[in-house]
Amino acid sequence: MTYISVIDLLASDAIHQEFTVKGWVRSFRANQFMALNDGSTIKNIQCVVDFENMDEALLKRITTGAAVIVTGVLEESQGAGQRVEIKVKTVHIEGDADPEDVKRTILSPKRHTLEKLREQAHLRVRTNTFGAIMRLRSKLSFAVHQYFNEHGFYQAHTPIITGSDAEGAGEMFRVSALDLENPPKKEDGSIDYSQDFFGKETNLTVSGQLEAETYALGLGKVYTFGPTFRAENSNTSRHLAEFWMIEPEVAFNDLADNMDLAEDFIKYVIRYVLEHCQDDLEFLENRLVDEDKKKPQAERATMLLREKLEFVIANNFKRVSYTEAIAILRDSKPNKKKKFKYLIDEWGADLQSEHERYLVEKHFECPVILFDYPANIKAFYMRLNEDGKTVRAMDILFPGIGEIVGGSQREERLDVLKEKMAALDIPEEELWWYLDTRKFGTCVHSGFGLGFERLVLFATGMTNIRDVIPYPRFPGHAEF
Ligand code: ATP
Ligand code: MG
Ligand code: MG
Ligand code: MG
């Protein structure tokens, strides 16, 4: 028996040939037209059932949501909307779906709100919207690895559990710390180490950067791409407590090289999905157009989703220093008319997302790379500039998203790094291994962190980060 996926079947020219497809019934019209989807594509294969010659009991079990195995012959379709269809010979019901129960779920064939879909995160992948998002997410992830592999990078698998909290002071989830005076015990009286990390206080990583740096200083070009965790109480549409981060780190690269890398990388992966996710992008684009029609004219998108992606690939990101950005913001209308919640009138202030979005969406109208930030608002490991006030940091800001990348050239000088750590009360003992890299063959190096879900947000046109990861973790939400 030849099994075939729906995506391959829809592209097949083997008319009159027999195939077997397996999937879930999306709808069953007029006791005759079964729309079958197996997750391989947004499209369904139409399976035409000869209901007059089919067992009545079996016919009743072909319901939305049921898992079925269909064998039939591929024919050219007479109906509009599809090139081919399957003339069904046999249907095997693999798993029933009671229509009364289905009615109460998001499997029922109508457009549900995203909020409703979020409540049934375990079923939402069976909807068109989430099928499209999750296929695209997967392709994007593949493109990430492909880019680095093609460009001479090695993947460094940095740890998830870490003993240091230097980087994430106050924002780390603690794995545990064993109370040695009063350790938890198993039934047999032995110490229950599963309740802690063998007695050592540990945390979940907020970033693999420091470890990736040590690997760049041995393998040259590395990247890490894994889950990271932030115990920040952020209930925004851009923040998750668990998210995936892409972090390349390159020896002998300075800040300008780092910007070039980030821009080239983003363009590559966006180009990849434009080429490899056409059907899903078309679906998501149409969905956005429908959503847009409900909004007042002024709030509607000016570009279609794919136009937006093409635009990013075709245009240089605008590179602007922090100092220039402050001058622009200071003179901007919203700043003078107090339309910003936080007014920017002083050099040295941290930009809020409203300022970032103003620069990207109103002023430059393209992705922006902001660089050379004041040292005091950035992390200790960023390379101090000769002016003694700014660091070689860069943030990439995207339309509709805000910050998508945070990166920098790293401080390679041992004495400067130590001074910075001392000023912030970061004990040297904690990062002795990191400082070692500055003692033994230190060199200029740089890297960045890109939040994978923010990239997926941009590529799908979705607006809430909780809708681009299978099981979003955010304050109060980790039950399933
Ligand atoms: P933000 O200003 O948006 O809070 P950040 O400056 O705290 O981000 P970084 O520490 O610079 O973030 O992390 C690098 C990248 O990781 C960010 O540019 C962003 O794309 C992503 N990121 C950071 N925090 C989160 C989060 N809580 N959820 C999802 N992505 C995140
Ligand atoms: Mg943050
Ligand atoms: Mg930030
Ligand atoms: Mg940042």
> What average pLDDT score do residues 17-41 get?
96
Question: Residue 248: pLDDT above 90?
Answer: yes
User: Does pLDDT of 180 surpass 80?
Assistant: no
What is the pLDDT, as a whole number, of residue 280?
98
**Alpha carbons within 13 A on the beta-carbon side of 316:** 5
Q: Are residues 397 and 456 in the same domain?
A: yes
Q: Ligand 1: which residues within 6 Å by Cβ?
A: 230, 234, 238-240, 243, 245, 403-406, 449-451, 453-454
Find the domain containing 26 and state its range: 6-104
Contact indicator for 383, 333 with CB cutoff of 8 Å:
no
Judge if 100 and 134 occupy the same domain.
no
Kindly give the distance from the C-alpha atom of residue 473 to the centroid of ligand 1, in angstroms, as a whole number: 15
1 occurs within a structural domain: no
Residue 166: pLDDT band by 50, 70, 90 thresholds?
low
Give the pTM: 0.95
Contacts of 145 (CB under 8 A, 6+ apart): 155, 225
Span 250-276, pLDDT tens digits: 999 999 999 999 999 999 999 999 999
Ligand nearest to the CA of 209: 1
- Token pair 């240091």 in the structure block, residue: 164
33 plus 99 within the same structural domain: yes
Residue 115 falls inside a structural domain: no
What CATH number is attached to the domain comprising 433?
A: 3.30.930.10
Report the pLDDT averaged over residues 144-173.
90
Q: Is it the case that residue 131 has pLDDT exceeding 90?
A: yes
Ligand 1 atom 11 nearest Cα: 406
CA of 228 to the centre of ligand 2 (A): 12
197 domain residue, yes or no: no
Residue 192 confidence (pLDDT): 81
**Is the predicted ipTM greater than 0.85, yes or no?**
yes
Do 322 and 370 fall within a single domain?
Answer: yes
pLDDT reported for residue 110: 84
**Residue-wise pLDDT tens digits, 312-371:** 999 999 999 999 999 999 999 998 888 999 998 889 999 999 999 999 999 999 999 999
Q: Is residue 186 in a domain?
A: no
Q: Distance (Å, rounded) from C-alpha 40 to C-alpha 139?
A: 12
Whether 282 and 379 map to the same domain: the answer is: yes
Task: Please check the confidence at residue 169 and state whether its pLDDT lies above 70.
Answer: no
- Residue 476 belongs to a domain: no
Beta-carbon contacts of residue 194 (< 8 Å; ≥ 6 apart): none
- Residue 377 and residue 440 in one domain: yes
User: Structurally, how many domains does the chain consist of?
Assistant: 2
- Asked if pLDDT for residue 81 goes beyond 90, the answer is no
Q: Please indicate, yes or no, whether residues 87 and 210 belong to a single structural domain of this protein.
A: no
Residue for token pair 């909004």: 295
Q: Is the pLDDT of residue 1 over 60?
A: no
Amino acid at site 411: E
Q: Is residue 118 part of a domain?
A: no
Task: Tell me which residue has its CA closest to atom 18 in ligand 1.
Answer: 405
Q: Do 93 and 143 share a structural domain?
A: no
Residue 249: pLDDT above 80? yes
Asked if the model's pLDDT at residue 118 lies above 60, the reply is yes
Q: Are residues 381 and 432 in the same domain?
A: yes
Same domain, 326 and 218: yes
- What mean pLDDT, rounded, does the chain reach? 94
Q: Whose CA is nearest to atom 12 of ligand 1?
A: 406
Give the list of residues 6+ apart from residue 444 with CB closer than 8 angstroms, or none.
251, 252, 253, 254, 383, 409, 412
Alpha carbon nearest to ligand 1 atom 26, residue: 239
Which residue, of 71, 104, 137, is where some domain finishes? 104
Q: What percent of the chain has pLDDT over 90?
A: 84
Distance CA 173, CA 206 (A): 9
Give me the pLDDT at residue 40, please. 98
Please say if the pLDDT value at position 190 is more than 90: no
- Taking only the tens place, the pLDDT of each residue in 199-245 is 788 899 999 999 999 999 999 999 999 999 999 888 999 999 999 99
Ligand nearest to the CA of 350: 3
Question: Does residue 168 carry a pLDDT above 70?
Answer: no
The pLDDT tens digits of the residues spanning 434-470 come to 999 999 999 999 999 999 999 999 999 999 999 999 9
Same domain, 377 and 283: yes
Q: Is residue 200 part of a domain?
A: no
Same domain, residue pair 83 and 220: no
- 3-state DSSP of the chain: CCECCHHHHHHCCCCCCEEEEEEEEEEEECCCEEEEECCCCCCCEEEECCHHHCCHHHHHCCCCCCEEEEEEEEEECCCCCCCEEEEEEEEEEEECCCHHHHHCCCCCCCCCCHHHHHHCCCCHHHCHHHHHHHHHHHHHHHHHHHHHHHCCCEECCCCCEECCCCCCCCCCCEEECCCCCCCCECCCCCECHHHCCCCCCEEECCCCHHHHHHHHHHHCEEEEEEEEECCCCCCCCCCCCEEEEEEEEEECCCHHHHHHHHHHHHHHHHHHHHHHCHHHHHHHHHHHHHHHHCCCHHHCCCCCHHHHHHHHHHCCCEEEEHHHHHHHHHHCHHHHCCCCCCCCCCCCCCCCHHHHHHHHHHHHCCCEEEEEEEHHHCCCCECECCCCCEEEEEEEEECCCEEEEEEEEECCCHHHHHHHHHHCCCCHHHHHHHHHHHHCCCCCEEEEEEEHHHHHHHHHCCCCHHHCCCCCCECCECCC
CATH number of the domain within which 100 lies:
2.40.50.140
Residue to probe by mutation, ligand 1, list 258, 373, 381, 403, most atoms within 8 Å of CB = 403
In a domain? residue 177: no
Say what the pLDDT of residue 38 is.
98
Convert the pLDDT of each residue in 370-424 to its tens digit: 999 999 999 999 999 999 999 999 999 999 999 999 999 999 999 999 999 999 9
